[in-house]
Amino acid sequence: MNAPVALVPQPGELAGWITLSDPDLSEGDLAAVNAVLRGSALNTGPVVERFEAAFAAYAGRKYAIAVTSGTIGLMLALIAKGIGAGDEVILPAFSFREAGHAVLLAGATPVFADIDYWSCTLAPAKAEEKIAAKTKAIIGSNTNGHPAAWPELRAIADVHGLALIEDSTEAIGSRHKAGMVGSFGDVAVFDFAQPGVICCGEGGMIVTDDADIAMAIRRSRLHRPGERASLSITMAAPFQAGMSEMAAALGLSQLGRIDLLLERRKWVQNLYDHFIQSFEGIKPPYVGPDIEKVHWFLYLVHLGTRFTRSARDQIIEDLATEEIEASAYAAPLHLQACYRALGWGKGDLFVTEKVADRAVALPFHPHLTEDHIAFVVARMKESSINAGAGTPIY
């Protein structure tokens, strides 16, 4: 009699670590960077300008400004809107990207509002409750790729005369029924650091339709050597936060095949969705009824409400013993030291804390095979049984 066929790879059968992310690079990407290295310019130059033009066209916005990171991009956007000391900015505390840092760097005060339990994006009603005399802007995040409730946030911002800034650092390619991410805010910001779809090592892009905002951002981003004698341009000191030609070459090459990159990640997502269906006690990533398309930044699963934060951490440790890199998705901003100093503490954002304590990010990149994904889900299921599985999330 033939031995039974194993449906899931067993420990030791898959060689090497299964990493949380792995950039999807091609020979064309390497050739683009090599061309820059063989040229005469490494700082911000013509390749950056081409990347900006191509990204503006992709996002459907008039202007795009390349910067060193999404965080710096958000900071420059706030400064361009005249937001700084004495002003308050409403935003969520639940994110892999830490937008609150940009608010602090701009000199303003972050005011955190709670998230929707299902989509994990900023809850419009909760944000509106936080509006006060000093409020100047709302930052909404397309958390883990899921578009926020943009029509509602846009309406609130307009009624109260606030700037609306869109944090799309995790969401390239996603689409709300009202439009593509990056199209809703007065300014929107994308990030190109790992584990993003477009991965340049570091880098970001700001998009807007407002010529004055675009000009203000460009002037505070950097001054080029030829601009050092300009009286108007040099009225304020720049942050020297430009993107390098190498990063731009890598980004431009990947943007040229963005549909393929997203399709490859969608294939991995579909495999996860298949294996996760029979996993009692967790739910797969949620997609809201007003959402047309979601491209996940990471593959998140949410443990049942009776799981504790320590149980979540134990599961991550158990996966590490099987050479699987997993991670807690968020360390809520309002519980980090620099924000506690502003008076925030545990219990201030009930839904944010509840979700953050139980959200686990699993390996998510196009180099994963079906065997890898089956192995990851099986090992997580075993660990969660030891930690108290069978617990509904609802």
**In the predicted model, what is the mean pLDDT of residues 97-118?**
94
Higher pLDDT, residue 253 or 3: 253
DSSP conformation letters of 299-354: EEEEE-TT--HHHHHHHHHHHHHTTB--EES---GGGSHHHHTTT--TTSSHHHHH
Percent over 70 (pLDDT), the chain: 91
Instruction: Indicate where the chain has its CATH 3.40.640.10 domain(s).
Output: 27-255
Whole-model pTM: value is 0.90
Among the residues of the chain, which ranges form H helices? 27-37, 46-59, 70-80, 99-105, 124-129, 150-160, 211-221, 245-255, 258-276, 309-321, 337-340, 350-356, 370-387
Q: Superfamily assignment of 258-387 in CATH?
A: Aspartate Aminotransferase, domain 1 (3.90.1150.10)
- Has residue 337 got a pLDDT over 50? yes
Distance of CA 386 to the CA centre of its chain: 31
Name, in order, each residue with C-beta under 8 angstroms of 30's C-beta and a sequence gap of 6 or more. none
The CATH code of the domain at 27-255 is 3.40.640.10
Contact 373, 272 (CB under 8 A): yes
Q: With beta carbons less than 8 A apart as the criterion, state whether 59 and 188 touch.
A: yes
Name the DSSP class of 167: E
Is the pLDDT score of 2 beyond 50? no
* Mean of the per-residue pLDDT values of the chain: 90
Pick from 363, 323, 369: nearest CA to 15: 323
pLDDT at 5: 36
Q: Which residue has the higher pLDDT, 28 or 284?
A: 28
Place of tokens 């495999």: 271
User: Is pLDDT at 301 greater than 80 in this prediction?
Assistant: yes
- Quote the pLDDT of residue 305: 81
Burial of 175 (0-12, 13-18, 19+ CB in 10 A): middle
Q: Name the residue among 328, 315, 317 with its Cα closest to residue 360.
A: 328
Residue 338 above 50 pLDDT? yes
pLDDT class for 95, splitting at 50, 70, 90? Answer: confident
What pLDDT digit, counting tens, does each position of 225-243 carry? 666 666 566 667 778 889 9
Residue 155 reports pLDDT greater than 80: yes
Please give the pLDDT value at position 15: 60
**For 185-195, what is each residue's pLDDT tens digit?**
999 999 999 99
Burial (CB < 10 A; 0-12, 13-18, 19+), residue 13, is: exposed
- Identify the residue with better confidence: 389 or 143: 143
The pLDDT score that the predictor gives to residue 236 is: 73
| pLDDT for 308 | 87
φ and ψ at residue 383, rounded to 5 degrees:
-65, -40
Task: Summarize pLDDT for 31-62 with one digit per residue, the tens.
Answer: 999 999 998 887 878 999 999 999 999 999 99
Q: CATH 3.90.1150.10 region(s) of the chain?
A: 258-387
